Structure 1
Amino acid sequence: MDQNTADRRSSLMVWGALAVVYVVWGSTYLGIAVTVESIPPLLSGAMRFVVAGLLLGGVVLARSGVAAFRMTRRQFLGAAVVGVLLLTFGNGMVAVSEQYISTGLAALLVASVPLWLVVFRIVVRDRPKSLTLAGVLVGFAGVAALSLGGAQAGSTFGIVVILFGSLSWSVGSFLSSRIAMPANPFAASTVEMLVGGVGLSLLGTGVGERVDLQAITGRSWAALAYLVVVGSLIGFTAFSWLLGHAPISLISTYAYVNPVVAVILGALVLSEQVTTQILVGGLVILAGVALVISTERRGRPDRGDGPSPSEPPVAARPHGRRE
């Protein structure tokens, strides 16, 4: 195989994996919406991440053995805390909110996560560039435009819940690069999924959620299986492969594409209404995020921003962290 052929093949593989991340992660909002049609939101998340965590842990054990799970108590607690922030409160609130607002609106509000990460950097006296700050202001203007119009775009309660979930996800993403974590990132993800899933189970049971197996539709079971296998495992695998084979500036484009995919799928599959306010507010948010990410890439080529709360936990950690 000559060099040109090898380069073309590598390029095709990169774009194929990127297409998987674009579509799969953008589609998880739709998957969550269909799942919660007949399964309580918090308990559905518990089912998703406990099963995904067990599957991922099994694969890690089969490939790397018990040594992959060797970690100190501090590292385990670090992964556990991140799992609760990302999944119990981050992903869990996405599922709750989608009972009240459209999947497209949810995805667009979640797109504010990279903006929150910049705010947290300011808090710890890491001074971002002027263009980064401008992007944050633009992005939050879009969030405000969508949130303040809750009566038209969706339930105010749902908007408040998903903004809380996005904030929790951002805190978890921020802390994950600054506290002790397991050396093996796949083992760390296993802990995050299992602890986050247990947290969702406790929270769901605590607020009175109950699973009625007879009431669960085949449509919801299929959506849950999709979230476990395709959303959490295949999407995660594609993203992990990309981290080692593509520039982070290219990978980070999922932050702009995922909300667009979510809006389109919500309109096509669930007949969700896409209002002018959603379009304008969403474009403003994405413009702010694009400005932040493009500016940060030029100054911090090895650093990444966390994906949305509907996605698997390992990808949420800033990729510049050294394990």
Structure 2
Amino acid sequence: MGAGRGTPCRRSAGRTLLSFTLGSLNVLGSIITVFITLVFNVRPLVLLAFATVYVVWGSTYLAIRFGIETIPPFFMAGVRFCIGGSLFIGWAIARGAKLPSNSLWRSAALVGVLMVAGGTGGVTWSEQFVPSGLTALLIAMVPLWIVLIDWARPGGSNPGSTVFFGLVIGLAGMTLLVNPVAVGGVREINPVGALALVFATLSWATGSVYSRHARQSSSQTITVGMQMVSGGVTLLCMSTISGELSQVDLARISWRSVMAVAYLIGPGSLAYAAYLFLLRASTPTKAATYAYVNPIIALVLGAVIGGEQVSAWTLLCSAVIITGVVVIVTAKGRAVSS
């Protein structure tokens, strides 16, 4: 594959950097765990799910970027979710679960098309054109979409002024944090990529609300697998229709892209399962607060791996974002399992 062997000095430096990165994420994870414990006051399983979604998904933006360096985006995402979903289904069957009925498959397929293909697939494709800062800003639209969709649906409830206030605070912090002019000096944004990201967030939010109320298998593991496989197959179809398959050259795929895809299949899939669990164990609005925290995780990774500086202004904006999250998760709402 594309990447060759590095010198012993480079390999040693790489191992040191990897160890430092993992150590930093471990410390950051501990801080987030304490934060969630104090604010959410939830049982351990829900706490673990929030920590997984907050930390792991914050690192997947970098993994996606590495993956699409040498692999076409729809094809990469399709392979990722087909393999990950198959592993979930296989694990569930090995533990005695039975394949659900056709009606449950249809329900899972709709969620997979909306969240996996439309949501994550849209983000993956957009990262070819849109700067990371603007990507993070537009992903922060997810909680707002979820609040509005959940409010507008039949039987939906008014989230209350406090939740809207928290959303405004969070979006304000995100705007200050990832101002396109301030991040990399980028002033011109690819409109097609930005529009695709808006569509991706809307598709993800719609799937999130639908998933909470849709009929599902008694096995959460097999439900996750069905959604991932359905979305993955859809992405592979999109890859075929768009002509991406003709661009796949196995000889040019780098080891960095391969390792990135492996990371997305492993920890990335577990984070997706944790998010689906939170949609039912908490509320869609609270589960979607990952969109405010993930960019902060991405900043830490950028500082550790990319050598980027984290300024006092960045820390201040991060504090504003966390304030918005606190307002949302402590608001009086329809929390189910606390």
TM-score interval (norm. to shorter): 0.7 to 0.9
In structure 2, do the counterparts of structure 1 residues 250 and 197 end up closer, same or farther at CA, with 3 Å as the change threshold? closer
Q: Equivalents in 1 of 2:193, 2:315: separation in Å?
A: 18
The one-letter amino acid of 2:220's match is P
Alignment of 1:22-33 (within 5 A): 22-33=54-65
The one-letter amino acid of 1:120's match is I
User: How many Å apart are 1:157 and its aligned residue?
Assistant: 3.2
Unaligned runs of 5+ in 2: 1-42
The one-letter amino acid of 2:62's match is L
The one-letter amino acid of 1:51's match is I
Q: Which has the higher mean CA deviation after the structures are superposed, 11-20 or 261-270?
A: 11-20
Q: Does 1:113 align with 2:142?
A: yes
Unaligned runs of 5+ in 1: 1-10, 305-323
Match for residue 43 of structure 1 among 69, 75, 78: 75
User: How many Å apart are 1:299 and its aligned residue?
Assistant: 2.5
What whole-Å deviation, never above 9, does each CA across 1:64-113 have from its counterpart, x for those lacking one?
Answer: 23x2x222x32211110110000111001111111123445423421321
Match for residue 257 of structure 1 among 284, 293, 299: 293
In structure 2, do the counterparts of structure 1 residues 12 and 273 end up closer, same or farther at CA, with 3 Å as the change threshold? same
* 8 Å Cα contact 1:143-1:281 kept in structure 2: yes
Q: Which has the higher mean CA deviation after the structures are superposed, 101-110 or 128-137?
A: 101-110
Match for residue 160 of structure 1 among 181, 195, 198: 195
Q: Does 1:57 align with 2:57?
A: no
Q: Equivalents in 2 of 1:257, 1:139: separation in Å?
A: 10
User: How many Å apart are 1:213 and its aligned residue?
Assistant: 0.9
Q: Does 1:194 align with 2:225?
A: no
The one-letter amino acid of 2:54's match is Y
What whole-Å deviation, never above 9, does each CA across 1:121-180 have from its counterpart, x for those lacking one?
Answer: 221352221112223444555677768869528534332221211110001111112333
Aligned to 1:89: 118
The one-letter amino acid of 1:115's match is L
* 8 Å Cα contact 2:133-2:180 kept in structure 1: no
Match for residue 262 of structure 2 among 225, 231, 254: 225
User: How many Å apart are 1:255 and its aligned residue?
Assistant: 4.8
Q: Equivalents in 2 of 1:229, 1:186: separation in Å?
A: 14
Q: Does 1:135 align with 2:166?
A: yes
Q: Equivalents in 2 of 1:204, 1:80: separation in Å?
A: 18
Identity among equivalent pairs (%): 37
Alignment of 1:286-301 (within 5 A): 287-295=323-331, 298-301=332-335
Q: Does 1:98 align with 2:127?
A: yes
Match for residue 70 of structure 1 among 75, 78, 100: 100
* 8 Å Cα contact 1:101-1:154 kept in structure 2: yes
TM normalised by structure 1 equals: 0.73
* 8 Å Cα contact 1:112-1:285 kept in structure 2: no
RMSD over aligned Cα atoms: 3.9
The one-letter amino acid of 1:191's match is M
The one-letter amino acid of 1:160's match is L
* 8 Å Cα contact 1:112-1:139 kept in structure 2: no
Q: Which has the higher mean CA deviation after the structures are superposed, 159-168 or 278-287?
A: 278-287
In structure 2, do the counterparts of structure 1 residues 43 and 240 end up closer, same or farther at CA, with 3 Å as the change threshold? closer
User: How many Å apart are 1:226 and its aligned residue?
Assistant: 0.9
* 8 Å Cα contact 2:170-2:325 kept in structure 1: yes
